[in-house]
Amino acid sequence: MLNVELIKMSSDESEINYNTSEKISVKKSTFNGLIIGVIIVVGVASFFAGTYTSNLNSNQISSEDLDEAIAKLELKLLQNQLPTKEAVEPVKISLDDDPVIGNPDAPITIVEFSDFQCPFCARFHTQTLPSILEEYIEQDKVKLVFRDFPIQRIHPNALPASIAAQCANDQDKFREMHDILFEKQNEWNRMETTDALSLFSQYASEMQLDQESFDSCLTSGKHIAEIRNDLDDGHEYGVTGTPGFFIGNDQIGYVELKGAQPFESFKKVIDAQLDT
């Protein structure tokens, strides 16, 4: 029987034990014997918003001028987050060896810490990412590095979904599995984990992956250490909720965005960095 277990070691540390005592098929009948018990202590995300006011008189300035002034102020605030020339060292965020969407040589990187079962992550990938893809990623200006941050305490199928995406990545099909997991999140997010795993195997079949290799990867625990490393790095960078983003590169440093921000929030940061 396959047993996946995450045991709390301290307030900041946890350990994953992944033990197999017999060969397991991905068939649903066998999956019914699968036990996945995962406890991850994750702090509640806190998002702080600043309020900026001015003494502008509405009788002395047009709404267009006001909008332009606000836009310039917002851009200036974002630019001020970038390291100055006097900064000793830019903030660096590890890309690890995680899946990349876009040209690996793109000058700007979006590092995303994400949870496949998180509804806000799904919102970003269905509502915001398409615009980022069209305007920046497909133009070789930006790449997106996807790092796993499954919050098992509230999303019991998040870790299995991360494993499924990593197994698809082994066959150069991460993007396809990534897309289907978010697009069909409502199909599997409330399932029992055994049923969700069976459905992930079905997705792999529909994608024409090598079924035997995928199923073996899914049940072997091959990528548990990789996912654990993403979690550890995320905690180190202060990630407390998903999705969490870091935008930039090692030369200029990274700007952090929290939550399922609209496209305009990404655009302001990216444009400022491309002009740096």
Per residue in 70-126, pLDDT (tens digit) is 555 555 555 455 544 444 467 789 988 899 999 999 999 999 999 999 999 999 999
Asked if 263 contacts 132 with a C-beta cutoff of 8 angstroms, the reply is yes
pLDDT band at 171 (very low <50, low <70, confident <90, very high): very high
The separation between the first and the last C-alpha atoms of the chain, rounded to the nearest angstrom, is: 55
pTM of the shown model: 0.70
pLDDT of residue 103: 97
- The tally of domains found in the chain comes to 1
Asked if 102 contacts 109 with a C-beta cutoff of 8 angstroms, the reply is no
Helices 224-236 and 158-169 cross at an angle (nearest 10°) of 110
Q: Is the pLDDT of residue 226 over 90?
A: yes
Task: For residues 216-240, give the mean pLDDT.
Answer: 94
pLDDT band at 68 (very low <50, low <70, confident <90, very high): low
Place of tokens 């930006």: 142
Asked if 193 contacts 158 with a C-beta cutoff of 8 angstroms, the reply is no
pLDDT band at 1 (very low <50, low <70, confident <90, very high): very low
The CATH number linked to 226 is: 3.40.30.10
| Rounded alpha-carbon distances, angstroms, from residue 129 to 74, 97, 173, 192, 265 | 21, 21, 18, 29, 12
pLDDT of residue 12: 36
pLDDT of residue 129: 97
Number of other CB atoms surrounding residue 256 within 10 Å: 17
Give Cα 130 to chain centroid, integer Å: 15
Q: What is the DSSP string of 199-257?
A: HHHHHHHHTT--HHHHHHHHHHTTTHHHHHHHHHHHHHTT--SSSEEEEEETTTEEEEE
Helix (H/G/I), strand (E/B), else coil: 37: strand
When the pLDDT of each residue in the chain is averaged and rounded to a whole number, the result is: 77
Asked if 117 contacts 189 with a C-beta cutoff of 8 angstroms, the reply is yes
pLDDT of residue 23: 35
Q: Is the pLDDT of residue 270 over 80?
A: yes
For 123-153, the pLDDT digits (tens) are 999 999 999 999 999 999 999 999 999 999 9
Among the residue ranges 41-50, 58-67, 89-98, 174-183, the one predicted with the least confidence is: 41-50
pLDDT band at 225 (very low <50, low <70, confident <90, very high): very high
What is the CB-side half-sphere exposure of residue 145 using CA atoms within 13 A?
20
Segments forming the whole domain that contains residue 203 = 2-274
If phi > 0 it is left, if psi is from -120 to 50 it is alpha, else beta; for residue 96 that is left
For 231-242, the pLDDT digits (tens) are 999 999 999 999
pLDDT of residue 78: 54
CA–CA dist 24, 34 (Å, integer)? 9
CA–CA dist 131, 175 (Å, integer)? 16
Residues 6+ apart with CB under 8 A from 222: 163, 166, 167
If phi > 0 it is left, if psi is from -120 to 50 it is alpha, else beta; for residue 73 that is alpha
Among the residue ranges 34-48, 55-69, 102-116, 198-212, the one predicted with the least confidence is: 34-48
The more confident residue out of 200 and 62 is 200
